[in-house]
Amino acid sequence: MADTRPIGVFDSGIGGLTVLREIWKVLPGESTIYFGDNARAPYGNKSRSTVIRYSLQNMKFLESRGVKMIVIACNTASAYAYEALKDRSDVPVVEVVTPGAEATIKATKNGKIGIIGTKATISTGVYKQAVEQCALKHGMKNVEIYQKTCPLFVPLAEEGWWDNEIARLTAKEYLTPLKEAGIDTLVMACTHYPLLAKVIAETMGEGITLVNTGAAAASVVRDMLGKDGKTADGAVAPKREFYTSDEPGMFESVATPFLGEGLPSGTAHFSTDRYEVEI
Ligand code: DGL
């Protein structure tokens, strides 16, 4: 029987819309509820305990809306809080790290891999571990991993400066060491980086594969729902709802480029800090 409950997706703010759009691409018939925690963003420079608390509160909100699955669309929240959410959620939880690692190992030919993300994501070492584990699983012994924090890519993406001189100079400054290391695959381990993909690809030059962790996670969402027999099967017209913890107007004014299209419905305000959680 069709399961028409929505898929819940959350992020620190608008970046997770790059993941949501990938979910829509592979599952156009599914209803979705997106929560952007804009009032408390960014997560990328917050402590582990804070990101876990925020993520548990966001999970509670989505659960209260009757979702059938929760997608942690934020790389920082995935890196810090996945274990906590997985253990406490009533529904399956999908994060972006493991799918991103799988896609990376499939893509690399020379085993030299770059990972770029926020300070928080890189400091956890979670992506590095996930890529190493995946390599072992696929019998690949010699992987070399080079990590780099690229914090300025986040404000550049939000400013819409994706393809100008400042974006190019910033990319050159951050990515030159990875290029010199001879990597052939680069994991964009942050929701905002796919918007800068053109400049990142140009800076890295020929022969580089960029891994979009959101697209990888969307495939996992599709496969899990299919395997569990929980797809909506077009039984009803899908509903696409949006919530933000900041002002809806602010969310909507910056959302379109991240989503790749206009928001299909209005955005409502909701603060998840009302939920008491223990971490
Ligand atoms: N969504 C975050 C991530 O993917 C980037 C923005 C933030 O730091 O909150 O890591």
Q: What is the DSSP string of 197-218?
A: HHHHHHHH-TT-EEEEHHHHHH
Averaged confidence pLDDT in the chain: 96
State the average pLDDT over residues 176-202: 97
Please check whether residue 1 lies inside any domain of the structure: no
CA 218, CA 103: separation in Å to the nearest integer?
Answer: 12
pLDDT at 263: 87
DSSP run (H or E) holding 93:
strand 93-94
pLDDT at 265: 82
- 239 and 250 in a single domain? The answer is yes
For a substitution probing ligand 1, which of 9, 12, 193 has the most ligand atoms within 8 Å of its CB?
A: 12
Please check whether residue 279 lies inside any domain of the structure: no
- 222 and 207 in a single domain? The answer is no
CA 151, CA 135: separation in Å to the nearest integer?
Answer: 27
- 12 and 35 in a single domain? The answer is yes
Distances (CA, A) of 108 to 31, 121, 131, 143, 247: 34, 21, 11, 9, 42
223 token code pair: 């496969």
- 82 and 133 in a single domain? The answer is no
Cα 138 from chain centroid (whole Å): 24
- 253 and 149 in a single domain? The answer is no
- 89 and 219 in a single domain? The answer is yes
Provide the CATH number for the domain around residue 12: 3.40.50.1860
Please check whether residue 202 lies inside any domain of the structure: yes
- 117 and 249 in a single domain? The answer is no
pLDDT at 264: 83
pLDDT at 175: 98
pLDDT at 181: 98
224 touches 28 (CB < 8 A) = no
pLDDT at 153: 97
Residue 241 CB neighbour total at 10 angstroms? 17
Which tens digits make up the pLDDT trace of 107-161? 999 999 999 999 999 999 999 999 999 999 999 989 999 999 999 999 999 999 9
User: Which of these three, 165, 193, 213, is where a domain ends?
Assistant: 213
Residue 261 CB neighbour total at 10 angstroms? 11
Please check whether residue 226 lies inside any domain of the structure: yes
Q: Is residue 183 scored above 90 in pLDDT?
A: yes
Please check whether residue 31 lies inside any domain of the structure: yes
45 token code pair: 């420079």
Q: Is residue 233 scored above 90 in pLDDT?
A: no
Domain hosting residue 233, numbered range: 7-95+215-274
Atom of ligand 1 nearest to the CA of 76: 10
Determine whether 134 is an active site residue.
no
CA 136, CA 117: separation in Å to the nearest integer?
Answer: 23
State the average pLDDT over residues 29-33: 97
Into how many domains does the chain fold?
2
Strand-pair partners of 123: none
CA 215, CA 21: separation in Å to the nearest integer?
Answer: 9
Atom of ligand 1 nearest to the CA of 46: 8
CA 114, CA 144: separation in Å to the nearest integer?
Answer: 8
Please check whether residue 242 lies inside any domain of the structure: yes
User: Which of these three, 160, 190, 213, is where a domain ends?
Assistant: 213
- 265 and 175 in a single domain? The answer is no
